Amino acid sequence: KTNTEHIPLKHHSNDITRLRSSDLPLTAISSSSPLSSMPPTTRPVQTKFVSENTLASFTGAFQLGFDFVEFDVQLSKDKIPVVYHDFQVAITLKRKFHQAELFVVPVKDLTLPQLQSLKIYHASKTDVIKIEDDIDEDEPVGQEQFSSLFPTLQELFEQLDPHLGFNVEIKYAMQYRHGGSEQNYFFERNEYIDCILRCLITYANKRVIVLSTFDPDCASILRRKQTLFPVLFLTQGEKSDSPQFLDVRTWSINIGLCFIVAEHLSGLAAPA
């Protein structure tokens, strides 16, 4: 446990302990529920649904008794570390005659103010008809509505309880073995890592932090540039349904184990 004063929630089922906080739907608890007798510091958030990778979802996870949350960090165009899982977002703009048009844009090509002010959907959402149904002419499209989808790493440090541990996955676009890449024309690795580490070191204080990444070169750089935080290497293993990466160090768990030993990393995380 990261905090002896934080009383963890004892659930009737162990299934919830296997959920990531970013995937956790939060529901209201009735006064007759056994959970209603929990101390105020560990009561669940009273809301029906919370989007993943938001301050609300991480706060809810801590109130539910979780000691750690995992999230992905990447840079915006103005080189600010933001918390978001995918490399791309879908933007919809209203045109004449109320027609919606969908644009898929890399996160790296949008500044933080743009990310926090545009009407944004998941990049996999390509059904324009459904998107048109979602659009409300009278609905304000402003920072107060969408900024929660792109919290900055600094905001997480400043607004979340210091006893909540962070597993920070450093996103970096990798090349596929059979051609193509996750994202073209990505940031240079050293500058990219420096921007994220600068924020981590500045605001970490005594918070428990673990770093992780799928990119072997990023893992090596993270290990060499700092000694404050342990670094885990993430690998898909041999049986993953995801496309295989070009880097041979990602091809199997055994190769990954050899890599972490050679680079003195803290561990390897692979699918069960």
| pLDDT given for residue 92 in this prediction | 76
- Whether pLDDT at 8 is above 50: no
Evaluate if pTM is beyond 0.85.
no
139-195 pLDDT, tens digit per residue, is 444 444 444 789 999 999 999 999 999 999 999 999 999 999 999 999 999 999 999
| pLDDT given for residue 157 in this prediction | 97
105-152 pLDDT, tens digit per residue, is 999 999 999 998 877 776 665 544 444 444 444 444 444 444 478 999
Q: Domain spans of the chain?
A: 15-76+149-269, 86-146
Cα distance between residue 211 and residue 220, in whole Å? 12
| pLDDT given for residue 119 in this prediction | 75
Per residue in 221-253, is it b (16+ CB within 10 Å) or e — as a string? bbbeeeeebebbbbbbbeeeeeeebebebbbbe
For 250, residues 6+ apart whose C-beta sits below 8 A from its C-beta are: 174, 214, 216, 235, 236, 244, 256
Q: Are 247 and 220 in contact (CB under 8 A)?
A: no
61-74 pLDDT, tens digit per residue, is 999 999 999 999 99
CATH 3.90.550.10 fits 15-76+149-269, yes or no: no
